[in-house]
Amino acid sequence: MGVHFGVSVFFVFCLVGLSANAKVFNIGSPPGSDITKALLKAFTEACQAPTKSTVMIPKGEYKLGEIEMTGPCKAPIRIALQGTVKADGNLINGKEKWVAFRNIDGFKLNGGGVFDGEGNNAWRSNNCHKTFNCKKLPISIRFDFVTNAKIRGITSLDAKHFHINVIGAKNMTFEDVKIVAPAESPNTDGIHVGRSDGIRIINSFISTGDDCVSVGDGMKNLLVERVTCGPGHGISIGSLGRYSHEEDVSGIKIVNCTLQETDNGIRIKTWPSAACSTTASDIHFQNIILKNVTNPILIDQEYCPWNQCNKQKSSTIKLVNISFKNIRGTSGNKDAVKLLCAKGLPCTNVELGDINIKYNGADGPATFQCANVSPKLMGTQTPKACSSPLTKPAK
């Protein structure tokens, strides 16, 4: 870690030194100070610069209030966060975000620094896991309509709500990102993406209280590769179908990931309502290692938290071309595989290959249940795959 950090700092200086026209805008504030105004000023100047520029937040700890850095900018822009920025730990007053990047084309965020959301007080005031109509807490980092972007080597710590939320992105990569919050922190999803085309999340570590990566409606072409999740709630496509005006999801690839001590492993969840009729297709999970994961493989088309929907209604989200291949490890409960597709709209073209999930609990062995789906089976299946598909599993 120390070596890696040293190398990346060296690399940043080289880039600044060598790149003839990358002008550097330093926030110029001493450590310990509140840099909200200085950062906004540096960003605004950099954004107006006619050539490539860098906004530099040097090493040290700073306070940072709510901030929106909005383009379009005249040239590509980079934010080098080398220090740690800390949110106001007492702020629990219904704001929707802490740091937002908006409408920027050609964006880099790197530098090895930390966004510390100071979420402790907020988690204790959060009642969203108990009440539907709850007070909003700020998302730590929002990327709204950011295109051709690379976010690399930054850490998000203790977000009050989601750590990172992405909407309207095109061609955006997250690499070597670290996300950390306690397992018991509510609603602290790691990275939520939706309504975007072309996002890659690579070689990252996400340990948090809610979903590791969650995928909302309208997401097209997402690659999640070499990501380690846990604790948390695993990798989730959805929930889908709660609202009208939702868009299709397609081209989701989750490969070479490890889930450890998560509630849920890899899942697709849709609401049992007819708010919208969209299709989620071409969703592939491959080479996934599970370590003591509860509900490792789950398709749940009757997702209905807080019992605020009618489970008798069928989901109108069509699931097509889904695969789970080479998924292995240990389950924390006996429900190793559950494919519960919609009554009125069976899942089509679901493939499972080389599933090897063990459960060692006293109520074992592990089970594999299917409803409204006839999966195509390849390779080994442990536990034994649903012998009579298209029937509701016995409860």
Ligand X SMILES: *[C@@H]1O[C@H](CO)[C@@H](O)[C@H](O)[C@H]1NC(C)=O
Residue numbers at the binding site for ligand X (CB under 6 A) = 148-150, 171, 173, 225, 255-256, 261, 279, 281-282, 287, 292, 294, 320-321, 332, 349
CB of 287 to ligand X, least distance (A): 5
CB of 6 to ligand X, least distance (A): 24
Task: Closer to ligand X by CB, 79 or 157: give it.
Answer: 79
Task: Closer to ligand X by CB, 19 or 294: give it.
Answer: 294
- Give the residue among 304, 301, 246, 310 at the shortest CA–CA distance from 276: 246
Q: Is the Cβ–Cβ distance between 355 and 331 less than 8 Å?
A: no
CB of 146 to ligand X, least distance (A): 10
Task: Closer to ligand X by CB, 135 or 220: give it.
Answer: 220
Whole-Å CA distances, 337 to 123, 231, 250, 299, 341: 32, 20, 22, 9, 13
Q: Is the Cβ–Cβ distance between 201 and 177 less than 8 Å?
A: yes
Q: Is the Cβ–Cβ distance between 342 and 317 less than 8 Å?
A: yes
CB of 79 to ligand X, least distance (A): 13
Task: Closer to ligand X by CB, 281 or 382: give it.
Answer: 281
Specify the DSSP element, H or E, that contains 7: helix 2-18
- Give 40-43 contacts, CB < 8 A, sequence gap 24+: 40/67, 40/69, 43/69, 43/77, 43/79
Whole-Å CA distances, 69 to 46, 78, 145, 392: 11, 12, 12, 51
CB of 182 to ligand X, least distance (A): 15
The first and second tokens of residue 59, run together, are 């090493």
Task: Closer to ligand X by CB, 36 or 171: give it.
Answer: 171
Task: Closer to ligand X by CB, 41 or 253: give it.
Answer: 253
Active-site position among 4, 163, 233, 284: 233
Question: By CB neighbour count within 10 A (0-12 exposed, 13-18 middle, 19+ buried), where does 271 fall?
Answer: buried
- Identity (one letter) of the amino acid at 302? E
Please indicate whether residue 233 is annotated as part of the active site: yes
Q: Is the Cβ–Cβ distance between 183 and 231 less than 8 Å?
A: yes
Interior/surface letters 342-363, b for 16+ CB within 10 angstroms, e for the rest = bbebbbeebebbbbbbebeeee
CB of 278 to ligand X, least distance (A): 11
The first and second tokens of residue 361, run together, are 């609990």
What residues are labeled active site?
A: 233
